Amino acid sequence: MNASPEHQRILLDIADLDRRIAQAERARTKPSQAARISELVAIRQEQLRELTAVTGTRDDVRTELKRIESDVALVEQRRARDAQRLAAATNPKEAQALEHEIASLARRQSDLEDAQLDVMGRVEDADAAVAAQQALLDTTTTEGTALTAQAKADVAAATDLGAQLARDREAVAATVPAPLLAEYTRRAANSAGAALLTRGTCEGCRIVLPGTDLNEIRRAADDAVVSCPECGCILVRTEESGL
């Protein structure tokens, strides 16, 4: 195939646009925050499970505290009632029985109040555990929200950039003969498509070409479309090619 050196040089612009379009597409479909966002989703799920567990423990302890408080209130009511009955009692045996019951209730109340203090401490610990876990969850959620917002902004920017680059490519490609563009497109499926030959090096695969290949390229006409023997892309020759 033959094409003017000017048209061959335009292929470099198209190749550069294709590279930038590919970068924009990667940024659109795989934003840099994606991995961390996925990690935070997993962390948040585990933190939610832990929060549910510690909240359940706290609720159980609170329920236990309410039961003890109810028992204490009932014992106090019974003691108050027995004290009233004792004050009004005229029968010595009845009075003695009431005194024994009041003493028993006093011991029961003391035991309940000791248990109440213990459970109150456990409630305090459980509240602290819930608060600490909630703080961890809030931190994770805040980071995730910020990263998600940034990712959306980056995706939108990459989408706009990709659209602009596509328009630019269409305009540039329109200046290249259709056969040459088709040849470039075919090669671009497996290589850079077109690359500059700089001081004997293919800029597409970064390989220094052997002297025999360079001699063959050197003998080719200026309008001949030559290829890199390594990657197969179109080699664009300029004064920097070292020929």
The CA–CA distances, whole Å, from 187 to 12, 144, 191 equal: 13, 42, 6
Q: What share of the chain is helix, strand, coil (3-state, %, to 5)?
A: 75, 5, 20
Q: Which neighbouring-strand residues pair with 50?
A: none
In order along its 243 residues, the chain shows pLDDT tens digits of 899 999 999 999 999 999 999 999 999 999 999 999 999 999 999 999 999 999 999 999 999 999 999 999 999 999 999 889 888 887 888 888 888 999 999 999 999 999 999 999 999 999 999 999 999 999 999 999 999 999 999 999 999 999 999 999 999 999 999 999 999 999 999 999 999 999 999 999 999 999 999 999 999 999 999 999 999 999 999 888 877
Q: Which neighbouring-strand residues pair with 196?
A: 236
Burial class, 49, CB count within 10 angstroms (exposed 0-12 / middle 13-18 / buried 19+) = exposed
This prediction has a pTM of 0.73
∠ CA 98-100-103, nearest 5°, is 110
Give the contacts of 78 (CB within 8 A, at least 6 positions apart). 105
Q: Which neighbouring-strand residues pair with 237?
A: 197
What the block records as the tokens of 126 is 């459980």
Q: Which 3 state secondary structure label does DSSP give 243?
A: coil
Q: Where in the chain does DSSP place strands (E)?
A: 194-198, 201-202, 207-208, 226-227, 234-237
Whole-number Å distance between alpha carbons of 128 and 208:
67
Give the contacts of 63 (CB within 8 A, at least 6 positions apart). none
Residue located via tokens 């109810």? 70
Give the contacts of 35 (CB within 8 A, at least 6 positions apart). none
